[in-house]
Structure 1
Amino acid sequence: MSTTSPSNAQPSTTQPTGGNKAFAKSKLDWLAPAILTARTITAAAECAPFPYIKGVSGTVVILLETVQKVKKNREDLKELCESTTEIVMILHDQILAHGNTAVKFKAMCEELESYLAAVVPAVQNLHNPSKGFRKRVKEFVGSSNMTDEIAGHQKQIQGLLAAVDTNSKVNEMHAIMTAPSFVVTPPSQSINNCPPPSRIFQGRQTILAKMHKFFTPNSGKQLIYVLHGLGGAGKTQIALKFIQESSANFSDIFLLDASTLDTINTGLKNIAVSKFVGDSAQDALTWLQSKHGNWLLFFDNADDPKINLNKFFPQCNHGNIIITSRNPGLRTYGDHSPVSDMEDKDATTLLLQSAAKESSEENVQAAAAIVKVRDLRIIRQLLIFEQELFHLPLAIVQAGSFILQSEDIAGYLTLYQKNRAQLLSEKAVQSHDHYAWTVYTTWQISFDRLSQLAATLLQLCSFLHYSGISEDMFSNASEYSFPVWLPAKEELQEPLQFLSHFLGPTGEWNSLRFSEVTNEIKSYSLITFDAATKMFSIHPLVHAWSRNTLVDEAASHLCISSLLGMSVAEIAHHDMTLASLRLMPHIVSVRPFNADVGADFRVAFWHIYLSAGKFTEAQNLIEQTCEKYRLVFGEEHLATLEAMDRLGLTYWHLGEYKKAKELEVTVLDKRSKLLGEDHLDTLRAMGHLARTHSELRDLEKAKELEVTVLKERTALLGQDHPDTLMAMGNLAWTHCELGDFAKAKELRVTVLEKQTKLLGEDHPDTLLAMGNLARSHSKLGDFEKAKELEVMVLEKRIKLLGEDHPHTLMAMGNLAGTHSELGDFDKAKELELTVLEKQTKLLGEDHPDTLLAMGNLAKSHSKLGDFEKAKELEVVVLEKRTKLLGEDHPDTLLAMGNLARSHSELGDFEKAQELEVTVLEKRTKLLGKDHPGTLLAMGNLATTHFNLGDFEQAKQLEVTVLGKRRQLWGDRHPDTRLAMKNLIFMYRALDELMEAEELERLVKQIQMSL
């Protein structure tokens, strides 16, 4: 038995407790091995040359057996039994070691035997039912001076040990150990002061398997393993579980409380005393270094980063060490495992066991909901952050204890969501271990050790999203240049004061200082760092808890929202698409605490929302800004015009083209007067208006404006400037809409080459140019080349922007269209279903992009022969576009033509003809008689005339279509060849066989040349 009780260490292990009889019995299992030890010593004493120890050992057996028979509150007598048994063990070991000199212990043994003989009747008297048991125990302890008596015997023994001649120990020990009469076999494991792991221990098999593999016997070197992670993650329990499973592999196992220098030294001193090698920490280290047994040192709770733990490692090539710590820096000592959250199934099982609930289907579902991690969701611009237990073991055990008392597992989640801080701060009376802290108090201990600057940084980050926090967010804020119409220095004193701690003498950002502060927080595992992404993360529960440490939550929120706004404002002229991916979650997280955003960085946040495709949120912010600027500056002020321009751009993204045009006309007119027609801001307004004209299908007006913008930007900025290339791309788009696909392709090839050279292959603007060039290839009938480019664009956008970004969905829709053109209708349908689902969720049912996705899906249904489904979708598209865009809008006419086609496929040729006549008339008026869209409508109407038996009218229309398509694109274009094939049918229907055969020969020649 060890002279060091586990209770002397800082409570960090698990011991079962409970109220039923079986549970109570299990609490005194320590008596059985104690009795067995005493009996063994008694038997050995008969064979050894010092039989006088038999008397005291036999008396100890009687005492322990008497205590074991007590039926109530036997725990009150544990100290007596432990102390007495320790004395007997010391006597036994010392008599073995000192041989003939052991006669000096004879009197002491007799005295102890006499004392214990008097104690036994007193203990037996506790059975007397005349008084209450607790009163009897109290009287017994008080009257017998138990503690003082036992302490006196211990002191006598220690004094006698000091008097023993150390130099004679070796010879005397050899003589005794070689004596023929000596038959005592020393135990194989003389010390193991580690308690068992929790009885409800779950999972962690991956870590345990790694540890078992690591600690291989006879390695020829000292083996050190570190378990590191957040407080409450279960590091100590994993270590204890490993020790329980592999204790037979170690000669001695020592548990050291490593939380402070004092507790480490005390633990080592206890080892020295228990092994009778001295009474200092150095004595223990010397013994461990010289002893070539396979000992194990367990340094538990080595959390203080200021302690150099290496000073307490035996400096030798043997032995084993396990360390549990919140400090990941201790990984330097050996192999290691990060201890984080539990797996789903293990977490659920742990909750049910700690709550003493059976594993019924209903309970399992309730438990799974309590422990699981909920995704971040954005509803009505607010961050919905449902913080359950996030698989943290300590939080789960606390929840189980509460449920055990309330017996309401189904109602716990609602209660927890409303009272999270209170429930995670209170420790239940009944528990499964000796862990002294609750979830929140265990982190408070670490927090209290942080410097003021480190604590402030952690608290500020509690308003951000718990992942994706970067140094750049703060360093960019430090470069804030105080632009006009954004907050000035006097409004930003607190964030500037915070940033000053990370600036060098000349005001430059000091990354080393930032690293020192974050390293301090990391040393307690309150944050983690991903070297691959260079991003910090905070455990979601720590993230929520750290906000509870704030004294002035409003001031801290204003500070971090201002810092975030300063960072966004500084990068506003850089690539906002990538910035939006990094910053969007943080902006969404910050804003709910103060809808006014504080310090008025609405415009900065508007950039992020727009780039992230959150157009409705962007609209809310910029409308507020417009209203404020009108009141403060007036209608004619440049700040007001800038806000109006941004609002018009937002309306454009929302598909509200008429509202966008109204604002853009006003902005262009006022900027022209205030700044001049050649000013860059005027040209930007002109470009925005041109794009809106294009969406409203006033293509000639759009072209006129875009030619002007391109010419002026080339003169002012040069051919390779990003703004010049943007103007070139916009003009190419309009050429494409006008049917001049060759000119559009020429411009797009130039844009792509220059963007690739300037920005690289993976830049969002380069991918946009690549997608536009793919569209030109498709329009010119080169679908394979279009597919090749579109596959590349989609893959890169998914990797860069994610699967749900509007640009990614646009690429997916374009690729689906090309698959359809190539006849792979199933693949097209699969992609279009995905696009429609995501667009509906992202933009709403009525957004133009959603309706485009619905129309494309209807087209695929039609290609696959499901005409009823196609018709059903096309009716919805036509109704919504008519309401949103008007009867004459090109997109409305496209929907009408598609619906006509479905009517035709379903045999309703009269209805199809009615719609197609309308489409042709409106497109001719809107686009001109030679526009590809007009020719498409004419071809569709020709087919319907043919189906109705009006072959002559059908032929006349198809001859016109073929002639114009040959003129526009040549004979090899797919649409031209389709017109040829249609016309052949019509010639044959009219018995004009010579014309049919001549056209068939031309088609075959073209096919052979492809």
Structure 2
Amino acid sequence: MSLLDINDCDGDDFHPSSFNIDIVFVHGLREAGLDAWKDVHTGSLWMTSIFPHARHKARTLVYEYDVNRMVTPGGPAATGIYDEAVSLANVLVANRELQNAERRPIIFFCHELGGLIVKRALAFSHSRKHAKLTHIRSIYRSTVAVMFMATPHQGLRKDAIIRWNHDKKRDPSQFELSLLEGSDTIQEVTDHFTPIMKDFQLYNFWEQKKTDFEQTSAYIVERNSAAPSWPDVDQCGINATHSAMVKFSSTKSPGYTLVLGSIEKYIRSAPQTVRIRWEQDSALLNSERAFDIGGLLEASVAGKTLITAAEPDRWKSEPNISTIPNNTSTSENVYYHVGLHSDYFVGRESQAELLLHAFKPTEDTGSEKPKVFVVYGLPGSGKTQFSLRYLEDHQRHYWGVFWIDCSTKETAESGFGRLGQLAGKGNERGAGIAWLAQTYKPWFVVLDNANDPQMTLSEFIPSTGNGNILITTRNPGARLYNTVGYLEFRGLNPEDAITLLLRLAYPDKELQDTKQLYSIGAKSIVSELGYLALAVKHAAFTIRSRMRPLEFYLKSLLTCRTTLLSRPIVESAADANIIATWELPFGEISSHRSTDYRDAVDLIHIFAFLHFATIPCAILSLCSDGIKSSTGLAACPSFLIDPVAKYQVEERILVAARVLYNHSIISIHDVDAGTCNTALLSGKYFTLHPAIHEWARGRLRKCDQLKWLCCTAAILEHAISSNMEPSGRMFRRLLLPHIESCRSLLKSAYPNLPETAEQASQLEKFGLVYSEAGHWETARILQKQVLAYRLRTLKQYHPLTIQAGRNLAHTYWNLFEIEHCLNLLNDIRKSQVIYRPSFFDYFVWPPLKPCYFEYYLTLDDLHKSLWLSGERDLSLTVGLRATNGLKELLGPEDPVTVNAMFNLARTFLHLGRYEESFELLEHVIKVRKRFWGPEHPDTLMARNELGMNLYAQGKDLLKAEQLVHSVLQSRNRILGAEHAYTLWSVNDLSKIWTQLERYDGAIQILEEILPIVARTLGQHHIGMVMTRSNLSRAYIRSGRLEKAKKEIIYIREQVPQNHPDSIYADYGWAYLLFHHDKNPELAVKCCYEALDRGLESLLLRPEHGTIASLTTLLLQIYEFQGHEDANESLRLKFPQLKGSRDPESIDFNLLQPPRSTNPPAAVEQESLPPVNHQPLQEEQPRLNRAPRTW
């Protein structure tokens, strides 16, 4: 670099002390030295020929730097701007000191890249605050104005770099790529300059004429980059090309008047501006130094060292990696659920020490909140590998180490769900987070690939617990989540990058030998790769495989990178570097014609549309038969079609995967048998780096992307069994992130999804998997789309439409949207009455009573839904019809018949027909045990109902307790402590304990699950209403009436007046009015209002337990008041009260969502008369019962 004094060159007779201002010119990247400013025709410099420098006593300085060194491959790519900025500041300081002109005002006039160098130089000067460096700070203090001539403040466009280098017959260098729009290099310059830009007068100029290239013309720097919308900054265009805008041949040249006028204005204001800045800045520095000295003295007295996340430079000397905290050195690692392992890793020692120090525990670990550290940076910079190596080094110091993929909200929820299962609390996200929050043994969680800026990471950070959380992300905004610090990852240290390349490329040779032989070539390669760990690693594998020897690799890399720049997927230098290192080996793979290499190409096309992690090999082998029968697929791999047997498909897949693995494109791991214990898994799964995953999809043309997306969706569809066997449940859970990835891409590609029958079939399968996993909201969206498509194309009577409707009704049922469920099922039933599968199905009597299998299935669904809605009488009629019909068609032991029998048994139980319910439940349990075992979820459900049957009868409460308690233990172990069915068993057990007068136990288990129910279901969910209803009952029985009152108020607010459970809520309120508030008159009024509403609206039968409880309470109140006449009248109207015990109806606390007071019209009209069935006798629905008034 050099600083040329133009005044000396022209022989001007000026003494150094006579100058009033220094004007410093800094050229751009396209033209160097004085050529950047000379007129192309005359060769004259406008700064001396037409600019009145003598009049203004202006010293003209031209800073020149080595452009060729910067643009040559292997040059100072990562530090080019900073290096030149430091040189400019130091050279300018030295020059001015020699003339004793430290306080002379400065105006910078800079072209293109020169503007970025000046911005960084001013920021560098401003950062020198130490007393020994004040001379460097003098550049910042003395600068008045900066004139930016087509400076790419926001970076250069790709096409400008491509065209310029094409004209020069060369490939773009890493330094030029670092100037792309949105690059980290541009952002770094901006970040450093923004805080001080208000201290200077700035003027942005842009070019208004395009530069001619061989076949086209274009702007080198676009206006939006040359003149950003900065506040209070002058800006104007110059009607000249990029080069000519700084070469003025005369005073009439475009832009000269603007430039001259601005310079003269700055010269006039310079003396006062600089004097004030020197005074104010000196005072500010003196104040800061005094504060720092006081702080250091205070810290010294306290015996502590201050460390802040905002000052990372001060951390590096603090931690000692050999000093392990005492309270973690004895920790025993029980859980290490990471699933990944670090590859060969070098460097980042100082960052590892920093992280260790940040996570150093305090003395009082029991009350701490988790510590959060954020590592952010470029893709491929080694964030994940750094985290893995840290965990492997410090695993022994943590009780539990867990890895959560946070690439999407769904994968994050699934990851914490697996933690919940590990803890035995169920597979809900909140279960895993709650487990960590309540664990005070030291734990460590990595939230990896949390790149989505729309994702709220605080949802996945436990509020308490003795834990450390490390977030890895590309999103700089995620720094906000840190509590103990953050790090930015870019490239490796140059020496570490060279070591990584040579050790991986030549693993059999000594490092010292390879450095002697290849260090020069390796240095150029890692520099062009931006020192990115992932790119260096892939380059090493390519060199090691001898596809590209080291001495030829750089040329191949540059050529490939130039080609890639035209692709939309390449947006930055990091993209170009990383993708080029994959394109080179992938080009070798795609050029081979052997079967295994062709299969490898097809395999990566499929992986591109799945989630990048944990791709089971079984996805591909299971779908083979279904894919062969598929029609309309524009792309389909031959390894799914050609083989005859499933094992042959799997063999070809593993061979193809090995090709990709050998070229370092994917990794292959064994399935963890502890978490994936299912026969459907082959023992292998595949994983791609997220950046490779993006490349694999982005390298395809749009039309090819659609082809392979449709193929991948078909593969997922056929990997899901239509029967949804329980044995495949774990495998289907593994498919969820892949289904989500494929579904989101389908939504983007097809706005009106589904648009074809094939897509409808795929969404139907996806909906079943979401439904099975408990993602009801997502399942409902998909199932509504499928039903709408089939209603539009196939009409309502088609079997596929009916199946789609039943699936949606099932989801409505689980969401407790009972009105929607009943209406939909009734529409399906009406369609099935009119449109029947065969001609012979119409020849039945009576003719409006179909007797075919699908119709009975719909009736059974309707039966279950009517039961949940509180229509127990109508539910019984429909249930008998469905059960009898299925038994005739399939027999009493078919699983479908057994399901219908269970539903009927539950209806009998809630209608008080205990013996019939008991008989059916015994049969159901016997068959389910034989088919599925004693601990299958369906068997457990029947066993739980049998226990509640005994409870309702009041015959054998100890046996009921034994049954329900054993089911609770099994559900706790199999489903998890926070699963909805487990919580249901807790509620049922509380009822039994309350009846056994074990009030403290009942209250304790209900109070323990209250926060779980609130977290997993919500404050207004039916499960919360049921839990608080049972709690109120236990409070009342134990005499804790004040607590019971709070719960009863909540229940009355939540349960609508037209629902049967509102009658129980009114009973509880009347009980409290009499026993707690001592207000018998109001209690009597409440009882009669409840009786009127319950009996007149047909909400409850007269013999129902809650009606009996209300009338019994009335008797107590009348006896207390001495109203014998009213007492006798009440006994006459309810003769069943004589000698009765306090009834324990099973319906006492079963709370369902609100229903309409009128049953579905079509069901009421049909009235469903009985069919011939020996063991079960149907009863007619009691819909026209005369209302009673009181």
TM superposition score normalised by structure 1: 0.53
Cα contact 1:735–1:741 (8 A) shared by 2: yes
Using the alignment, how far apart are the partners of 1:347 and 1:948 within structure 2? 81
The range that moved more, 505-514 or 678-687, is 505-514
Q: 1:652 to 1:203 in 2, by over 3 A?
A: same
Q: 1:589 to 1:841 in 2, by over 3 A?
A: farther
Residue 359 of structure 1 deviates from its aligned partner by 13
The range that moved more, 920-929 or 462-471, is 462-471
Residue 795 of structure 1 deviates from its aligned partner by 2.9
In the other structure, the counterpart of 1:415 is: 476
In the other structure, the counterpart of 1:914 is: 1085
Using the alignment, how far apart are the partners of 1:715 and 1:966 within structure 2? 43
Residue 825 of structure 1 deviates from its aligned partner by 3.3
Residue 804 of structure 1 deviates from its aligned partner by 3.7
Residue 585 of structure 1 deviates from its aligned partner by 5.0
Residue 619 of structure 1 deviates from its aligned partner by 1.6
Residue 368 of structure 1 deviates from its aligned partner by 6.9
Q: 1:412 to 1:476 in 2, by over 3 A?
A: closer
Residue 442 of structure 1 deviates from its aligned partner by 6.3
- After TM superposition, the structure 1 = structure 2 runs for residues 869-888 of structure 1, keeping only pairs within 5 Å, are 869-882=1043-1056, 887-888=1057-1058
In the other structure, the counterpart of 1:489 is: 630
Residue 756 of structure 1 deviates from its aligned partner by 0.5
1:617 to 778, 793, 799: 778
1:808 aligns with 2:982: yes
In the other structure, the counterpart of 2:799 is: 638
AA at the equivalent of 2:1032: A
Kindly provide the CA deviation profile for residues 96-136 of structure 1, in whole angstroms up to 9, marking residues without a partner as x.
xxxxxxxxxxxxxxxxxxxxxxxxxxxxxxxxxxxxxxxxx
Using the alignment, how far apart are the partners of 2:1041 and 2:652 within structure 1? 67
Kindly provide the CA deviation profile for residues 573-632 of structure 1, in whole angstroms up to 9, marking residues without a partner as x.
666866664544544455444446883422112222222332222221111122222222
Q: Report % sequence identity.
A: 19
Q: 1:393 to 1:565 in 2, by over 3 A?
A: closer
Residue 721 of structure 1 deviates from its aligned partner by 0.3
Cα contact 1:466–1:538 (8 A) shared by 2: no
Q: What secondary structure does 1:527 align onto? A: strand
AA at the equivalent of 2:534: Y
Using the alignment, how far apart are the partners of 1:725 and 1:612 within structure 2? 23
Q: What secondary structure does 1:489 align onto? A: coil
In the other structure, the counterpart of 1:427 is: 492
AA at the equivalent of 2:830: D
Q: 1:936 to 1:353 in 2, by over 3 A?
A: closer
Q: 1:928 to 1:974 in 2, by over 3 A?
A: closer
Cα contact 1:232–1:394 (8 A) shared by 2: no
1:527 to 669, 675, 700: 669
Using the alignment, how far apart are the partners of 1:499 and 1:653 within structure 2? 37
Q: What secondary structure does 2:671 align onto? A: strand
TM superposition score normalised by structure 2: 0.45
- After TM superposition, the structure 1 = structure 2 runs for residues 831-846 of structure 1, keeping only pairs within 5 Å, are 831-833=1005-1007, 835-846=1009-1020
Q: What secondary structure does 2:997 align onto? A: coil
In the other structure, the counterpart of 1:505 is: 644
2:624 to 462, 465, 478: 478
Using the alignment, how far apart are the partners of 1:365 and 1:659 within structure 2? 46
In the other structure, the counterpart of 2:720 is: 568
In the other structure, the counterpart of 2:811 is: 650
Higher radius of gyration, 1 or 2: 1
Cα contact 2:971–2:981 (8 A) shared by 1: yes
Using the alignment, how far apart are the partners of 2:371 and 2:930 within structure 1? 55
Cα contact 2:822–2:865 (8 A) shared by 1: yes
Q: 1:350 to 1:366 in 2, by over 3 A?
A: same
**Where is the helix percentage greater, Structure 1 or Structure 2?**
1
Cα contact 2:770–2:776 (8 A) shared by 1: yes
1:607 aligns with 2:768: yes
2:832 to 657, 671, 677: 671
Q: 1:685 to 1:727 in 2, by over 3 A?
A: same
- After TM superposition, the structure 1 = structure 2 runs for residues 742-757 of structure 1, keeping only pairs within 5 Å, are 742-757=915-930
Q: What secondary structure does 1:572 align onto? A: coil
In the other structure, the counterpart of 1:351 is: 355
1:898 aligns with 2:1068: yes
In the other structure, the counterpart of 1:399 is: none
Residue 821 of structure 1 deviates from its aligned partner by 2.9
Using the alignment, how far apart are the partners of 2:1030 and 2:407 within structure 1? 28
AA at the equivalent of 2:942: A
Cα contact 2:951–2:960 (8 A) shared by 1: yes
Q: 1:471 to 1:906 in 2, by over 3 A?
A: farther
Using the alignment, how far apart are the partners of 1:594 and 1:606 within structure 2? 14
AA at the equivalent of 2:341: L
Cα contact 1:200–1:354 (8 A) shared by 2: no
Kindly provide the CA deviation profile for residues 276-331 of structure 1, in whole angstroms up to 9, marking residues without a partner as x.
xxxxxxxxxxxxxxxxxxxxxxxxxxxxxxxxxxxxxxxxxxxxxxxxxxxxxxxx
Q: 1:425 to 1:559 in 2, by over 3 A?
A: farther
Residue 959 of structure 1 deviates from its aligned partner by 9.4
Kindly provide the CA deviation profile for residues 833-884 of structure 1, in whole angstroms up to 9, marking residues without a partner as x.
45444444444444333322332233344445543443333323322321xx
Q: 1:462 to 1:537 in 2, by over 3 A?
A: farther
Kindly provide the CA deviation profile for residues 726-783 of structure 1, in whole angstroms up to 9, marking residues without a partner as x.
1111111111111111211111011101110112122222122112212212212233
1:712 to 885, 893, 897: 885
Q: What secondary structure does 1:367 align onto? A: strand
Q: 1:575 to 1:423 in 2, by over 3 A?
A: same
1:773 aligns with 2:915: no
Cα contact 1:230–1:526 (8 A) shared by 2: no
Using the alignment, how far apart are the partners of 1:394 and 1:854 within structure 2? 39
Kindly provide the CA deviation profile for residues 325-363 of structure 1, in whole angstroms up to 9, marking residues without a partner as x.
xxxxxxxxxxxxxxxxxxxxx998552669999999999
AA at the equivalent of 2:1066: M
Q: 1:377 to 1:440 in 2, by over 3 A?
A: closer
- After TM superposition, the structure 1 = structure 2 runs for residues 666-705 of structure 1, keeping only pairs within 5 Å, are 666-675=827-836, 676=841, 677-705=850-878
Q: For this pair of structures, how many residues does the alignment match?
A: 628
Cα contact 2:813–2:821 (8 A) shared by 1: yes
Using the alignment, how far apart are the partners of 1:644 and 1:475 within structure 2? 31
Q: 1:512 to 1:975 in 2, by over 3 A?
A: closer
The range that moved more, 718-727 or 648-657, is 648-657
Using the alignment, how far apart are the partners of 1:654 and 1:645 within structure 2? 14
Q: 1:546 to 1:745 in 2, by over 3 A?
A: same
AA at the equivalent of 1:440: L
Using the alignment, how far apart are the partners of 1:349 and 1:803 within structure 2? 39
AA at the equivalent of 2:1051: V
Unpaired segments ≥5 residues, structure 2: 1-318, 331-338, 377-386, 388-400, 417-442, 451-469, 482-486, 502-530, 542-581, 590-595, 842-849, 1149-1190
Unpaired segments ≥5 residues, structure 1: 1-197, 210-227, 242-345, 397-408, 483-487, 979-1010
The range that moved more, 900-909 or 669-678, is 900-909
In the other structure, the counterpart of 1:105 is: none
The range that moved more, 542-551 or 762-771, is 542-551
1:440 to 534, 537, 561: 534
AA at the equivalent of 1:668: R
Q: 1:923 to 1:208 in 2, by over 3 A?
A: closer
Residue 565 of structure 1 deviates from its aligned partner by 2.4
- After TM superposition, the structure 1 = structure 2 runs for residues 71-470 of structure 1, keeping only pairs within 5 Å, are 200=321, 230-232=341-343, 350-351=354-355, 365-367=371-373, 414-415=475-476, 426-428=491-493, 434-436=499-501, 438-441=532-535, 444=538, 453=599, 470=616
Cα contact 1:479–1:570 (8 A) shared by 2: no
Q: What secondary structure does 1:644 align onto? A: helix
